[in-house]
Structure 1
Amino acid sequence: MKKTIIVFSGDLDKVMASFIIANGAAAMGDEVTMFFTFWGLNALRKPERIPTKKSFMEKMFGWMMPKGVNKLGISKMNFGGLGAVMMKKIMQQKQVESLQSLMETARMLGVKFIACTMSMDVMGFKPEELIDGLEFAGVASYLGEADQANVNLFI
């Protein structure tokens, strides 16, 4: 069986839910594709600054948005980042895997990560600013995967 997940949100809790579902499906032997678009691309950003040639607007997008999974806020009650800190602390106390760990598990299980090239263009992200091991494609590639899947989620 095949599953696809569009990761549209850049909120910690929603990205985490995406990876929990992806890992569950992959652990059951399903082929899983995650298509990261718009704000979801923030989860794929490298935490360090990568020098690239960008327009003023592209630089502003990059400056305003979180760089990687450790900088994502939560969707409700973020309180300027304090909500995410509290959530991570509670998750650690409850022995819930971190988002970084969930991403690593997904890779080990063979989950395919696709970065949306149109969203990258709009937001000014360059391939070298994103984590290694990604595929880069447009919506037609996602739709090709989705046509073959029995479950398609938008998170």
Structure 2
Amino acid sequence: MSDKTTIIVQSGDMDKLYSALIVSNGSLAMGMDTSLFFTFWGLLRLKKGGLEKGPLSKMNFLGLGKMMMLNRMKKSNVASLDRLMSDFKELGGKIIACEMTMDIMGLKRSDLREDYIDEYGAVGTYIKEARSSAITLFI
């Protein structure tokens, strides 16, 4: 088993995406190889202009909760999702987009931020990553 982290990003909720990116950036900063496998609603966050669009998982209140949370995060100097994603890519993180989800949701590669995506794959791609990982998470 290698010094590696693999995370399935299944949720497109803003707070869960923050969790995935914070943990993955922490893994990269500690010298671990890190892969994010985006599937289902998580994959929608990789659409062009989609990174910041997810609702809160709890207490969204038609978007009011998200606005309040973003305001509190700004006051606490929490990095934006865009910044966390940029850091992830700069630190050498790997993003895999689920092809099965793309088929199910009618997404084309041209719909997605191809500058984020390193590989397109299916469950076998994820299993290969996870098999050699010390840490695997589902968010």
TM class by shorter chain equals over 0.9
1:4 alignment counterpart:
6
Larger Cα-atom Rg: 1
Aligned to 1:101: 83
**1:3-152 aligned within 5 A:** 3-47=5-49, 68-133=50-115, 134=117, 135-152=119-136
State the TM-score, normalizing by the size of structure 2: 0.95
After superposition, what is the alpha-carbon deviation per residue over 1:99-140, rounded to whole angstroms, capped at 9, x for unaligned? 111001000011100000001100111111111231111110
Deviations 1:36-83 (A, max 9, x none): 000001210102xxxxxxxxxxxxxxxxxxxx1221110001011111
Aligned length: 135
Moved runs in structure 1, 4+ residues, more than 4 A?
A: none
CA root-mean-square deviation: 0.7
TM-fit CA distance, 1:85: 1.2
**What is the aligned-residue identity percentage?**
47
- Unmatched 5+ stretches in structure 1: 48-67
Query: TM (normalized to structure 1)?
Result: 0.85
Q: Which has the higher helix share?
A: 1
The 3-state SS of whatever aligns with 2:37 is: strand
